[in-house]
Homo-oligomer: A and B are copies of this chain.
């Protein structure tokens, strides 16, 4: 059993932020599929995992002044028959460095003897978990009301920048995701199905005892931004977009995207657009340093893309002016990136409270309206940098598309019809010196990337 001193340290920091205030964090209930006994693979809440506790359903962590008590479900007589031997209280105490381990039945009395008005907590995306917490607190916790709002702010303080142990976790998740990407890209070839590549991905996850940090995109229809389907066959001339992540033990998430030519060689048109997106990636990453605003990176990437598309003749006008008007967002319509940590969109449960600097709000212009992160960078933050280019028929023919059509050369765009969707996504740690690209082992340069395509094909 490795000693994990960061868990007690995190609990003490919480005590500094909320002195004398008890915090109750539910790991959460199992999520049921078509019937109660068929549960999806369980994953506890990230806030709960952050302070050190087992990834098992129906557990609750109560933290007060740096001391943590774990409450777990009372074991039934038959439990050992059906589920095998479970860890003893002493084993759990030692493994997670807890002050006490108790049965959940003891929680109501323990809460009543705390002698405080309020115990802070956080809501779950799962309603059954909220109902479970309500039993004990008499309310479903809130993200933007007293008293829980203080806990939201404390969690942002604790998790916004990754501490040393968290950085180690994210690095591990990133390495795992690099390996995952290589496994998938290595089997890419004409005639292979997306489903087969999803199989390669699933196998690689399972055999390493990793989980998916989100439902992966493995598709030749890269222009569909959220695309959890795997129905197509890869064809010569297609681009394959792979956006996936491994979640490693401890719960940290990876998130990387590569877009490759199915044939192993980009066409001239594909390479031209790909190189623009890769330049947007590189130039925005180069700006990363503590104190730099993430929105400025987004604007830089937008400008590089606009410049590139003007050079190719797809867009017409002055690049800076096109970006001001939001024309680039017809082709790069999402934000440049987001925080990564225990959640792949870290603390997305807190919405723009975590995504945006206090006092800042989302802009209304299409494109900027999709920017998830708009904050000054701080040492220890891990962000994704993921510019893209997409030719989305529904967007180009929308009211917005029509209103900006004078800036688009349709004939020229037609010449690039073999470019449907490209995204390149790295994971980057903000450091004192500037930045470290955590995913540098997975190349982005078109020539290097081509070498990965189908590289493992011969061996299976």
Contact = CB atoms under 8 A, between A and B. Distances in A.
Interface of A: 31-41, 43, 45-46, 77, 80-85, 125-128, 131, 193, 195-196, 198-209, 213-215, 221, 223-228, 230-231, 333, 342-345, 348-349, 392-395, 398, 460
Contact of A199 (B193, B207, B221): B207
Contacts of A207: 193, 195-196, 198-199
B34 A83 contact: no
A40 B213 CA distance: 11
- In the complex, the 5 A-B pairs of residues with the closest C-beta atoms, listed nearest first: A80-B394, A199-B207, A32-B125, A203-B203, A84-B224
A174 B350 CA distance: 44
A231 B215 contact: no
A83 to B, nearest CB: 6
Contacts of A204: 199
A102 B430 CA distance: 49
Contacts of A345: 35, 37-38
A230 B41 CA distance: 12
Contacts of A225: 81-83
Point out which of A207, A214, A227 has the most chain B C-beta atoms below 10 A from its C-beta.
Answer: A207
A209 B228 contact: no
Given A81-B392, A395-B81, A33 B43 contact: yes
Count the copies: 2
Name the residue in A32, A33, A77, A215 with the highest tally of chain B Cβ atoms < 10 Å from its Cβ.
A33
A129 to B, nearest CB: 9
A127 B125 contact: no
A282 B207 CA distance: 35
Contacts of A348: 35-37
Contacts of A223: 84
Contacts of A125: 32-36
Given A203-B203, A215-B39, A227-B84, A31 B32 contact: yes
Contacts of A201: 206
Q: Which residue among A125, A193, A395 has the maximum number of chain B CB atoms within 10 Å of its CB? A: A125
A200 B384 CA distance: 31
B35 A343 contact: yes
Nearest to A40: B40
A199 B319 CA distance: 48
27 contacts: A31-B32, A31-B126, A32-B126, A34-B46, A34-B343, A35-B345, A36-B125, A37-B348, A38-B213, A41-B215, A80-B395, A80-B398, A81-B392, A81-B394, A83-B224, A83-B226, A84-B223, A126-B128, A193-B207, A195-B207, A195-B208, A198-B206, A199-B205, A201-B206, A206-B230, A209-B230, A209-B231
